[in-house]
Amino acid sequence: MTGRDDERVRPVRITPCPDGPLLVRGPVEVVGADGVPVPARRRTVALCRCGGTAAPPWCDGTHKVNGFRTADPEPEVQAGRPGATVER
């Protein structure tokens, strides 16, 4: 069993990631403007929606450095620096 069976009954699931890509789970084929399928090398893929990727149509993490913001309802990140204190 590979789990592929449930894909037949389950629809493709697309998750918009806040300030990031569209995560696509399911048996999709992505086709370029020229009609040629873009080979996907993994079952779950991330489609760029910031426009900044160097590996279209896939997300390559560029959205984290180009200031891309989505309008998704954003959870409140705690006030102040979210971070950790690290002694260097």
Contact segment (CB under 6 A) with ligand FES among 25-33, 47-55, 70-78, 79-87 equals 47-55
Tell whether residue 45 is a contact of ligand FES (CB under 6 A).
Answer: no
Contacts of 58 (CB under 8 A, 6+ apart): 45, 46, 47, 48
Give dist(CA 38, CA 31) in Å, integer: 5
Cβ–Cβ under 8 Å, residues 57 and 70 = no
**Cβ closest to another protein, residue 33 vs residue 65:** 65
- Nearest residue (CB) to ligand FES, 10 versus 69: 69
For 48, the token pair is: 């760029």
State which of positions 26-85 bind another protein (CB under 8 A).
41-46, 54-55, 58-62, 64-65, 74-78, 80-85
